[in-house]
């Protein structure tokens, strides 16, 4: 079956309704139509309009500007209506794969990809680092909550539960926002697994601090101003990991990934303040 025949068949199934054909012609005439343009011009309410747009998803696409545009198949369908073989204007191109944050040559994509593709490997490393760092933190009166390290004395079991709860909270919240706000339901386990990378700086800081303390025979006291600066650095790391993980695993744009990362980061901070108070 030729490509034109395939388009004709799909066109017959989706565009047999005269109103849908008029919508395609209208979008073409004004070079892209907004939601308001369609509702006002065709006197349609939200429900019926969305129904017709779903039926024409092969031919009509909503771009980043929120305007409804014709896809390449939509242009071909329109020209088949008009008896033309070639489109008269530049056709709509599918958007490129979403980009993630990068600064010059620095990008967290390779790291995120490695952990996403090796879940067992990364989970083992996470469990080992988490176990060692929480134990050292407990010996040094340091409490690890997410990517924060606080001078706080707690039982060892509470330290492990807190770390697990932090992981579930941050990973789960990121997944919920991706799934229900932006309708990205795939790769949930990969996202949850990769999110554990946000804990890496706090793990390494706690382990290094504990080793130095044991080597010197003293318990090191980190000044509050130093902890505050480090927490800022750790929070930036966490923010970039979440953006990169969501952008790479969920295939969201960097803007949408940043919104999720910001909401998750603020939720984590407010939750921590609530617990400490």
Tens-binned pLDDT, residue by residue, of the chain (277 aa): 455 556 566 666 666 778 888 888 888 888 888 888 888 888 878 778 888 888 888 888 887 777 888 888 878 877 777 665 444 444 444 444 444 555 556 778 888 888 888 878 788 888 999 999 999 888 888 888 777 888 788 899 988 998 898 899 999 999 999 999 988 888 888 888 899 999 999 999 989 988 888 888 777 777 878 888 888 899 899 999 999 989 888 888 888 888 999 999 888 888 877 776 6
**Cα–Cα distance, 167 to 158 (Å, whole number):** 14
**Cα–Cα distance, 199 to 166 (Å, whole number):** 9
pLDDT number for residue 97:
47
Residues making up the chain, counted from first to last: 277
DSSP-based three-state secondary structure for 76? helix
CB within 8 Å of 21: residues ≥ 6 apart:
15, 81
Under 8 Å between Cβ of 241 and 199 = no
Domains of the chain in start order, with CATH, are 3-82 (1.10.10.10), 102-276 (no CATH)
Nearest to 262 by CA among 187, 163, 173: 173
pLDDT number for residue 122:
80
Its pTM stands at: 0.60
pLDDT number for residue 89:
44
Burial of 76 (0-12, 13-18, 19+ CB in 10 A): buried
Q: Which residue pairs from 237-242 have beta carbons closer than 8 angstroms and sit at least 24 positions apart in sequence?
A: 237/147, 237/198, 237/200, 237/201, 238/146, 238/147, 238/198, 238/265, 238/268, 239/265, 240/101, 240/108, 241/108, 241/112, 241/194, 241/195, 241/197, 241/198, 242/170, 242/174, 242/195, 242/198
**Cα–Cα distance, 111 to 120 (Å, whole number):** 15
């Amino acid at each position: 079956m030729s490509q034109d025949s395939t388009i004709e068949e799909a066109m017959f199934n989706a565009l047999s309704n005269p109103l849908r054909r008029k919508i395609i012609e209208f979008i073409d005439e004004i070079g892209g139509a907004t939601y308001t343009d369609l509702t006002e011009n065709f006197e349609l309410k939200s429900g019926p309009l969305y129904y017709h747009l779903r039926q024409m998803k092969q031919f009509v696409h909503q771009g980043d500007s929120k305007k409804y545009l014709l896809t390449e198949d939509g242009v071909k369908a329109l020209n088949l209506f008009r008896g033309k073989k070639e489109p008269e204007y530049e056709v709509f191109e599918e958007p490129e794969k979403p980009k993630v944050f990068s600064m010059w040559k620095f990008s967290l994509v390779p790291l995120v990809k490695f952990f996403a593709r090796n879940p067992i490997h990364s989970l083992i490393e996470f469990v080992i680092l988490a176990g060692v760092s929480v134990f050292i933190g407990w010996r040094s009166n340091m409490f690890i909550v997410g990517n924060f390290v606080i001078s706080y004395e707690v039982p060892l079991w509470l330290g492990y539960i807190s770390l697990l709860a932090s992981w579930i909270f941050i990973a789960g919240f990121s997944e919920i926002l991706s799934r229900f706000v932006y309708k990205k339901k795939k790769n949930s386990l990969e996202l949850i697994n990769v999110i554990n990378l946000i804990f890496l700086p706090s793990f390494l800081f706690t382990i290094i601090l504990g080793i130095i303390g044991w080597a010197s025979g003293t318990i090191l006291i980190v000044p509050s101003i130093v902890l505050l600066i480090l927490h800022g650095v750790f929070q930036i790391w966490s923010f970039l990991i979440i953006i990169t993980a969501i952008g790479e695993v969920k295939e969201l744009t960097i803007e949408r990934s940043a919104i999720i990362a910001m909401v998750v980061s603020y939720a984590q901070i407010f939750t921590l303040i609530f617990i400490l108070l």
